[in-house]
Structure 1
Amino acid sequence: MSGPLQTEMETLLQQEFTPGRLNVINDSASHHGHSGDDGSGESHFTVVIESDAFTGKNRLERQRMVNRALGDIPGQRVHALAIRAFAPGEAVA
């Protein structure tokens, strides 16, 4: 079940990128008790996203695009965010 922050992230990314694939994975449980674990259960995430918007962009540009779309979430409301952004046709594992 998605928490409110995960749902917000999914909504923002859907609106910005209209992705063909989107997985926002809550990794917080595996970081329980570690640095950055605020006890909310929503402190660490992985985003796997595929969108036409990433075509012709390098990895850093794609990560910046995702971070911009998420506004104040990365670094302020979420301790850690791993981003795997792909263009259609690229290998998505």
Structure 2
Amino acid sequence: MSLQHNITEKLSKFAPEYLTVENESHMHSGPANRETHFRVVMVSDSFEGLNRVKRHQNIYALFEKEFSDGLHALSLHLYAPAEWQGEAPESPSCAGKH
């Protein structure tokens, strides 16, 4: 199972109304075909009343093993349904990409 699929499966516990998980590893330096950098956009009632830090802490707690196994970054865009405007900011280009 790919790491992208694993991330998607684990995030399903938040019962998202909207979820995308994109592998952005190709936008960073390193060998091809790796799974180290992901962008997550998720809308869930679970984020209602939580500030950005608490939302991120809840997500990062799910992926301790993955981070110790080589996951490098999760770019998180987390919204309660009332905050969702239909799109999230795009990821910037990595300065280290050659």
The interval holding the TM-score normalised by the smaller chain is: 0.7 to 0.9
Look up the SS of the partner of 1:74 in the other structure. helix
Which blocks of at least 5 consecutive residues in structure 2 are unaligned? 88-98
Count of residues paired in the alignment: 86
Distance apart, 1:91 and its partner CA: 2.8
Question: Which residue does 1:19 correspond to in 2?
Answer: 16
From 9, 18, 28, give the equivalent of 2:7.
9
Whole-Å separation in 2 of the counterparts to 1:38 and 1:61: 33
- Across the aligned residues of Structure 1 and Structure 2, the Cα RMSD in angstroms comes to 1.8
Pair member with larger Rg: 2
TM-score by length of 2: 0.77
Distance 1:86 1:63 in 2: 11
Asked whether the 8 Å contact 2:26–2:32 carries over to 1, the reply is no
Q: 2:70 aligns with which of 42, 65, 77?
A: 77
Q: Percent identity?
A: 33
State the 1:66 CA deviation: 0.9
Q: Taking structure 1 as the reference length, what is the TM-score of the superposition?
A: 0.81
Q: 1:30 aligns with which of 21, 27, 30?
A: 27
Runs of 4+ with >3 A deviation: 37-40
